[in-house]
Amino acid sequence: MVARTFVDNAKVMAKGQITIPKDVREALGVSSGDRVSFIVEGSTVRIVNSAVYAMQVLQSEMAGEAERAGLNTDEDVMALVKALRDTERA
């Protein structure tokens, strides 16, 4: 994926609403009905696709959990799944 840098703008309406420009919607991968998040860092605000951002936060929070649980290989994961299934059947 090639990073694009561009500037676009929108007018703030009386109720604080804006229309997200088409190029920005495409860059975010959002369409009608999708949600966006506003991330405020000092005087800078980023607008991000909420679903993508939530997945990134989850991945960040889960980083290293498999290793801490002793799941270092595919075989470790398969053994855990088998043990859980055996426990459910018992």
Residue 3 clears pLDDT 80, i.e. is over it: no
Calculate the CA dihedral of residues 1, 52, 6, 13 and round it to 10 degrees: 160
Confidence at residue 48, expressed as pLDDT on a 0 to 100 scale: 94
Residue 35: which residues within 8 A CB-CB, separation 6 or more? Answer: 50, 51
What are the extents of the domains in the chain?
22-89
Residue 1 clears pLDDT 60, i.e. is over it: no
Confidence at residue 2, expressed as pLDDT on a 0 to 100 scale: 62
pTM over 0.75: no
State how far the Cα of 9 lies from the Cα of 72, in Å rounded to an integer: 47
23-75 pLDDT, tens per residue? 999 999 999 999 999 999 999 999 999 999 899 989 999 998 888 888 899 99
Closest-CA residue to 4 (of 23, 30, 21): 23
State how far the Cα of 41 lies from the Cα of 56, in Å rounded to an integer: 17
